[in-house]
């Protein structure tokens, strides 16, 4: 289970008298939960806290009973697809995905073949050797999802993962994410598009945030 347990957070510089957040939600292993709420309620903030990109002022995040608090982002059992994809423009598509598997790109032949096959699975067959800088927004988004899906981490944090996709590619990525869930991954989804939430989420959670 992924437990967000009274996690307290306020952005640096936010005056102490203004309201911060107290996040609380539990997500079962293998579940896909959509966090929903009005713009600005803290959905992306919570994903950044779980990923370890922001530091809470109190409370805890536990995965299978172990606190993630002491772990830096790269040691957490988490992989992310965020709105800004941070692909390295000067690297190829395959290298960008490979970096998610090994920081020095020390990949086996089998892993390079997996990357090639995964790209074919999202309509990007033949794109492996292209520089990321030459991709459209929707293509970049698909590369980012492939990179996340190939990583072994059990928790996938998805912040608007379908941005910029046409209907065909949206359906393809929905299928890939459903497959990941059936393989046992735990998905936390933030999407303004109800089609994604309906296609993917087991339940929508609206009461994950409270005033602190
Ligand atoms: N780095 C930051 N410093 C200060 N305030 C921030 C920072 N990032 C976000 N905020 C504020 O925190 C609030 C929550 O932002 P967040 O992006 O988590 O909301 P959200 O629920 O994901 O919104 P949306 O649905 O519009 O994407 C917003 O009011 C936002 O302006």
- Please state the ipTM of this predicted complex: 0.97
Q: Residue 200: CB partners within 8 Å, gap ≥ 6?
A: 32, 34, 174, 177, 178, 181, 187, 189
Q: Which of 153, 151, 161, 165 is CA-nearest to residue 190? A: 161
Under a CB-based contact definition with an 8 Å cutoff, are residues 52 and 68 in contact?
yes
Chain segment 141-182, per-residue pLDDT in tens? 999 999 999 999 999 999 999 887 899 989 999 999 999 999
Looking at residue 24, what is its pLDDT?
98
* Mean local confidence (pLDDT), 111-115: 95
Range ranked top by mean pLDDT from 50-64, 91-105, 168-182: 50-64
Q: Answer yes or no: is the C-beta of 88 below 6 A from any ligand 1 atom.
A: no
What radius of gyration, in Å, describes the C-alpha atoms of the chain? 17
Closest Cα to atom 6, ligand 1: which residue? 11
How would residue 95 be classed by pLDDT, with cut points 50, 70 and 90? very high
Looking at residue 16, what is its pLDDT?
63
Residue 27: pLDDT over 90: yes
Closest Cα to atom 5, ligand 1: which residue? 11
Q: From the DSSP assignment, how many helices (H) and strands (E) are in the chain?
A: 6, 10
Residue 23: pLDDT over 80: yes
How would residue 17 be classed by pLDDT, with cut points 50, 70 and 90? low
How would residue 18 be classed by pLDDT, with cut points 50, 70 and 90? low
Looking at residue 163, what is its pLDDT?
82
Helix (H) or strand (E) holding 155, with range, is strand 155-159
Angle at 158 between CA 209 and CA 25, to 5 degrees: 30
Looking at residue 185, what is its pLDDT?
96
Ligand 1 pocket check: which of 43, 204, 206, 210 to mutate, most ligand atoms within 8 Å of Cβ? 43
Looking at residue 100, what is its pLDDT?
87
Under a CB-based contact definition with an 8 Å cutoff, are residues 20 and 67 in contact?
no
Q: What is the mean pLDDT of the chain?
A: 93
Instruction: State the Cα–Cα distance between residues 196 and 177, nearest whole angstrom.
Output: 10
Instruction: State the Cα–Cα distance between residues 121 and 50, nearest whole angstrom.
Output: 29
Which domains are assigned to the chain?
2-211 (3.40.50.300)
Tokens found for residue 56: 């809470």
Residue 157: CA count within 13 A, CB half-sphere? 21
Q: Answer yes or no: is the C-beta of 47 below 6 A from any ligand 1 atom.
A: no
Looking at residue 32, what is its pLDDT?
96
* Mean local confidence (pLDDT), 18-32: 92
pTM metric for this prediction: 0.93
Ligand 1 pocket check: which of 19, 40, 162 to mutate, most ligand atoms within 8 Å of Cβ? 40
User: What whole-number percentage of the chain has pLDDT above 90?
Assistant: 81
Ligand 1 pocket check: which of 44, 188, 197 to mutate, most ligand atoms within 8 Å of Cβ? 44
Closest Cα to atom 27, ligand 1: which residue? 39
Atom nearest to 160 CA in ligand 1: 27
Looking at residue 15, what is its pLDDT?
65
């Amino acid at each position: 289970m992924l437990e967000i347990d009274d996690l307290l957070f306020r952005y640096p510089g936010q005056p102490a008298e203004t309201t911060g957040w107290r996040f609380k939600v539990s997500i079962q292993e293998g579940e896909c939960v959509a966090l929903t709420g009005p713009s600005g309620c803290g959905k992306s903030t919570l994903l950044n806290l779980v990923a370890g990109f922001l530091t809470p002022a109190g409370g805890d995040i536990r995965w299978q009973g172990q606190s993630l608090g002491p772990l830096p982002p790269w040691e957490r059992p988490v992989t992310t697809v965020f709105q800004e994809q941070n692909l390295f423009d000067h690297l190829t598509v395959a290298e960008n995905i490979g970096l998610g598997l090994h920081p020095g790109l020390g990949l086996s032949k089998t892993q390079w073949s997996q990357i090639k096959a995964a790209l074919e699975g999202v309509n990007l067959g033949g794109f492996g050797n292209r520089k990321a800088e030459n991709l459209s927004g929707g293509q970049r988004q698909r590369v980012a999802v492939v990179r996340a899906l190939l990583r072994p981490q059990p928790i996938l944090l998805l912040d608007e993962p379908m941005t910029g996709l046409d209907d065909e590619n949206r359906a393809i990525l929905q299928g890939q994410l459903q497959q990941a869930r059936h393989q046992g991954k735990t998905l936390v989804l933030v999407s303004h598009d109800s089609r994604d939430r309906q296609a993917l989420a087991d339940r929508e959670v609206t009461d994950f945030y409270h005033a602190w």
